[in-house]
Structure 1
Amino acid sequence: MKFVFSIVFFWFGYFAFSQEQVTFYFDNDKFELNKVEAAKLQKWIAENTTSKILSITGSTDEVGTSGYNDTLSQKRVSYIFKQVNGKINIRPDFKSISLGEKGATSTNKAENRKAIIHYLLEKDLAKENEILGIKEAVEVIIPENATLEEKVKLSKVGTKIVLKNINFYQNTFATMPESQATLYDLLFIMQNNQNLKIEIQGHICCIDKDHRNLSTDRAKQIKRFLVYNGIPQHRIQTKGFGVSQPIYPIPEASEEQAAANRRVEIEILSK
């Protein structure tokens, strides 16, 4: 588990309701619990084997430098994490929050030397996403025979769409005549959707490595066409994936598989 220590104040917004928390206090300048608090932690672990930890927040008093206190609160969070790891379920996007002396909210210094575990009880796990304000992703099914305009309209940010009938002369980034219809379809869509931003992604086939960076050059060629026809550059990004994301294993078993791997896609960045 990799810790990401940062001051994430917005995280607390997730815990506006239906969350639990337990606090453990540290002696001055210590990042390990004393016997009393350690026993309290072990008791809590034993009573919460079916709970789920959301985050651990560490803080210190205001004695010492800010840098020292930041490190000390990080160590306190790490200590607590090591005690609970493997014993209690932890969310995959677990947050490790180090507030240092910024977490000193009490006039009593001893009350600021602490680590807080935020967690959900077993009875609340069924509504975990609701409690955390996480909306379920809704899958959008885009018909294969839909037009490019319809596909873009139905798509969400992150959707990838293959540009059909975009072909290049062999070993070049020059488009063949049959590509014009799709290019102008894409231009029309970009002209009529001013907020649409895309990344054009190139893929090639049949070889073990894109030595000439041809996939990138082909993506850039599509961008050149759009920019030449008035689409602002900032709305178009480009990226070449070479043969790193084939639809079919390389070497392909047929020309149909090679053609499927040899493609240009657009990814919707914003709409």
Structure 2
Amino acid sequence: MSIVLLLFINGCFAQEQFTVYFESNKSDLTPKERLRLEDWMYKNSKSKIVAINGYTDEVGTTAYNDSLAQKRVDFISEFVLEKVPIRDDFKTRSYGEKFNQSENRAENRKATIYYILEKDLHRENEILGIKDIVIDENLPLFEKIKLAKKGTKIRLKDINFFQNTFAITPESNNALNDLLYVMQNNPTLQIEIQGHICCVSSDRRKLSLERAKQVRRFLVAKGIPITRMAVTGFGINHPIYPIPEANEEQAAANRRVEIEILSK
């Protein structure tokens, strides 16, 4: 883990934080603080941790306090591991005594978790100040994949479905074969296929998920390992245009399949 902290830690509008406190010279939690942390983990099992900072008071040498602050970070990191999702580029920092301390020493013996709530995860990069890569929509899919990085979303143009079903129309074959070519020629590429629908108030039939699954079924039938492809259905939760749409052009834009790059 890196101990370099990104600038976003200093204040983004939708980032949350949670702090636990330690006894003097301790790097493990009291039963009371452990219960607070466990309660936070239970309530945030689908949130995402982006950073953990550790702190100490000024008692002891600078070297000792730096080490103690890092031990507190390590303790919290191990405690939450596999219980709350953590960003792949998760950052930590141990401050020791080098920070703006409170006059109350007990308030300085702490570790702070910075995280994003589940409801805000679709805006994760925006919250963290990470600019999405802008890729020319007119490029062939294989060129878009070359330019893409982890987290990049690419709309699969010309993949359409028969109305109110997850059956793919014959006119979609070229687009499906383009995706197949990309998967065959990039054997380490892993993607999430994401379905979106339009025009209705809810996705009670989970049609968006079934459409994503149908695209995956096509690829699996062509020999692409299912383990390389996650699927999700967003329903109407992330429309490009407000629902109800003003015209068919807006509806078609909302009714889409996208892929997100998980790893290359």
1:70 deviation in Å? 1.7
CA distance in 2: counterparts of 1:269 and 1:249, whole angstroms:
28
Partners of 2:191 and 2:259 within 8 A in 1: yes
Of the three residues 213, 225, 239, the one matched with 1:232 is 225
Question: Which residue number in structure 1 is paired with residue 137 of structure 2?
Answer: 144
1:118/1:213 CA distance change after superposition, 3 Å: farther
Query: Aligned residue pairs: how many?
Result: 176
1:116 deviation in Å? 3.7
Alignment of 1:77-96 (within 5 A): 93=51, 95-96=53-54
Does residue 219 of the first structure (1) align with residue 212 of the second (2)? yes
Q: TM-score, normalised by structure 1?
A: 0.56
CA distance in 2: counterparts of 1:93 and 1:137, whole angstroms:
15
Unaligned 5+ runs, structure 1: 1-9, 16-54, 76-91, 99-104, 107-114, 121-135
Cα deviation code 1:138-170 (max 9, x no counterpart)? 764311210111111100100000000111001
CA distance in 1: counterparts of 2:247 and 2:130, whole angstroms:
36
Does residue 153 of the first structure (1) align with residue 143 of the second (2)? no
1:97/1:225 CA distance change after superposition, 3 Å: farther
1:59 deviation in Å? 5.5
1:213/1:241 CA distance change after superposition, 3 Å: same
Amino acid at match of 1:251: P
Does residue 177 of the first structure (1) align with residue 165 of the second (2)? no
Does residue 70 of the first structure (1) align with residue 25 of the second (2)? no
Partners of 1:56 and 1:117 within 8 A in 2: no
Cα deviation code 1:226-248 (max 9, x no counterpart)? 00100001100000000000000
Partners of 1:220 and 1:238 within 8 A in 2: yes
CA distance in 1: counterparts of 2:256 and 2:153, whole angstroms:
12
Of the three residues 167, 173, 176, the one matched with 2:160 is 167
Partners of 2:21 and 2:29 within 8 A in 1: no
CA distance in 2: counterparts of 1:171 and 1:179, whole angstroms:
16
Residue aligned with 1:230, SS: coil
Question: Which residue number in structure 2 is paired with residue 197 of structure 1?
Answer: 190
Unaligned 5+ runs, structure 2: 6-18, 35-49, 57-63, 66-94, 101-128
Amino acid at match of 1:269: L
Alignment of 1:53-64 (within 5 A): 58=22, 60-61=24-25
Does residue 265 of the first structure (1) align with residue 258 of the second (2)? yes
Question: Which residue number in structure 2 is paired with residue 256 of structure 1?
Answer: 249
Residue aligned with 1:204, SS: coil
Percent identity for Structure 1 against Structure 2: 52
1:58 deviation in Å? 4.5
CA distance in 2: counterparts of 1:140 and 1:61, whole angstroms:
45
Q: TM-score, normalised by structure 2?
A: 0.58
Aligned CA RMSD, in angstroms, stands at: 3.6
CA distance in 2: counterparts of 1:173 and 1:195, whole angstroms:
28
1:183/1:97 CA distance change after superposition, 3 Å: farther
1:255/1:137 CA distance change after superposition, 3 Å: closer
CA distance in 2: counterparts of 1:258 and 1:160, whole angstroms:
19
Partners of 2:150 and 2:263 within 8 A in 1: yes
1:57 deviation in Å? 8.3
Q: Which has the larger radius of gyration?
A: 1
Amino acid at match of 1:156: K
CA distance in 2: counterparts of 1:256 and 1:191, whole angstroms:
32
1:71 deviation in Å? 1.7
Partners of 2:132 and 2:152 within 8 A in 1: no
Of the three residues 235, 240, 243, the one matched with 1:242 is 235
Amino acid at match of 1:238: V
